[in-house]
Amino acid sequence: MERLQKVIANAGYCSRRKAEEEIIKGHVMVNGEVVRKMGVLVSPTDEIIVNGTLIKKEEKEYVLLNKPRGVVTTTSDDKNRKTVLDFIDTDKRLYPVGRLDYDTTGALLLTNDGELANLLMHPRNQIDKVYIAKVKGILTGEAIYRLKNGVMIDGKKTAKAKVKLRRVDKKNQTSMVELVIHEGRNHQVKRMFEALGYDVLKLKRERIAFLDVDHLKSGEYRYLNPKEVKKLYYEVLKQD
């Protein structure tokens, strides 16, 4: 059983707030009866009509994409750049879970399951996001310590992170660094390194929770199976 306004919103008819307004106005019918109050629970078999339109509950879909470089993490773009949806053949209204920068590659989840998306994005649920960054310069022990314990960005310290120096190229003066974070602040990884004086040359997200893109070429995607979806819900709900 789910709240009526949530079912209407998840079906893509309108936002949850707009659905609540439609209910209050008496524009919503459940099984032939007008509903005007909040908190009504409906089952998958209930017939819901809003302003004469039958609400069809959209089947949930979960996609893992290996996002290429030069692609925007949005559903549309006013500059006619490629979006992540251009790589996925579906008739569902999918949305990215969080975002990756235009030139950042790697693991990106897309779904029409708003509840799971919100749970995955909330920092309190501490979902691992594993990044591999190629930075200009040789990472020092002090820099690693500061990355682990938080860096000031816009006057706010980032949460503790896990850091591993994977490789150093002394000839080209670059470092390959693995960084595991739980937050999703704007351009966070790049800004963490920049705050310490290191420019990020390349950035890839290798993994979200237990999901990696090891077997997906750039631009390829796959659907999550029911077991993986259940495990994702377990990962976020066990924090409560």
- Summarised one tens digit per residue, pLDDT across range 161-170 is 999 999 999 9
Query: Could you give the CA distance from residue 220 to residue 227 in angstroms, rounded to a whole number?
Result: 21
Greatest CA span in the chain, whole angstroms? 74
Query: Could you give the CA distance from residue 20 to residue 25 in angstroms, rounded to a whole number?
Result: 9
Sign of CA dihedral 11, 124, 212, 80: positive
Q: Each residue of 99-128: pLDDT tens digit?
A: 999 999 999 999 988 888 888 988 888 899
Q: What is the mean pLDDT of residues 57-74?
A: 93
Confidence of residue 240 (pLDDT cuts 50, 70, 90): low
Q: Where are the domains of the chain?
A: 2-54, 62-123+213-237, 128-208
Query: Could you give the CA distance from residue 21 to residue 62 in angstroms, rounded to a whole number?
Result: 30
Q: What is the mean pLDDT of residues 125-154?
A: 96
- Note whether 2-54 and 62-123+213-237 share their fold: no
Q: What is the predicted pLDDT for the residue at 44?
A: 78
Q: What is the predicted pLDDT for the residue at 239?
A: 60
Q: Across 137-229, where does the E strand assignment appear? A: 152-153, 156-157, 162-169, 174-181, 200-208, 211-212, 221-223
Q: What is the predicted pLDDT for the residue at 1?
A: 77
Domain made up of 2-54: CATH architecture: Roll (3.10)
Query: Within 10 A of 56 (CB to CB), how many other CB atoms are there?
Result: 10
Active site residue 103: no
Is residue 233 predicted with pLDDT exceeding 80? yes
Q: What is the predicted pLDDT for the residue at 141?
A: 96
Q: Which of 77, 86, 91, 101 is catalytic?
A: 101
Q: For the whole model, what pTM was predicted?
A: 0.80
Domain made up of 128-208: CATH architecture: 2-Layer Sandwich (3.30)
Q: What is the predicted pLDDT for the residue at 137?
A: 98
Domain made up of 62-123+213-237: CATH architecture: 2-Layer Sandwich (3.30)
